[in-house]
């Protein structure tokens, strides 16, 4: 189970089906969960902002990019190489730090229904 457990900062992206390319960053307050075979999990290097990358891969522009590059006639699908090939222009470390200091407080207030 530890190998597949989702942790704060992980980003999961659907790789198959109608939601191919849809992504979600795992926030501080999340139910204990694991990722499944229809998802690709990404862990961002510690020096980069997983909040920033999470915003990018949740964007409509990212979804359009994936849609333009997916395969599969009856069942849309994309592999990890496609899902991670979107070019992301990363701001300086100072700007990433400032971005994190603003959005982290918002995300950490998340509430979940049971």
- Say if 4 falls within a structural domain: no
6 within a domain of the structure (yes/no)? no
User: What is the chain's Cα-based Rg?
Assistant: 15
Domain housing 96: 11-107
DSSP sequence for 32-47: --B--TTEEEE---TT
- In order along its 114 residues, the chain shows pLDDT tens digits of 788 889 989 999 999 988 999 999 988 777 788 888 889 998 988 788 999 999 999 999 999 999 999 887 678 888 889 999 999 999 999 999 999 988 887 876 755 444
Structurally, the chain folds into a number of domains equal to 1
For residues 10 and 54, give the distance between their C-alpha atoms in angstroms, rounded to a whole number. 9
52, 63 contact by CB (below 8 A): no
The helix/strand/coil state of 16 is strand
**pTM higher than 0.75:** yes
Q: Distance between CA atoms of 101 and 37, rounded to whole angstroms?
A: 33
The answer to whether position 20 is within a domain reads yes
Q: Is residue 35 part of a domain?
A: yes
């Amino acid at each position: 189970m530890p190998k597949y457990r989702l942790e704060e900062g992980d980003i999961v992206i659907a790789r198959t089906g109608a939601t191919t390319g849809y992504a979600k960053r795992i926030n501080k307050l999340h139910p204990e969960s694991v990722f499944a075979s229809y998802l690709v999990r990404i862990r961002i290097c510690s020096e980069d902002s997983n909040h920033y990358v999470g915003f990018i891969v949740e964007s409509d522009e990212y979804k359009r990019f994936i849609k333009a590059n997916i395969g599969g006639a009856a069942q849309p699908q994309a592999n990890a190489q496609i899902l991670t090939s979107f070019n992301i222009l990363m701001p300086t470390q100072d700007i990433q730090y400032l971005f994190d200091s603003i959005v982290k407080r918002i995300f950490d207030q998340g509430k979940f229904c049971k």
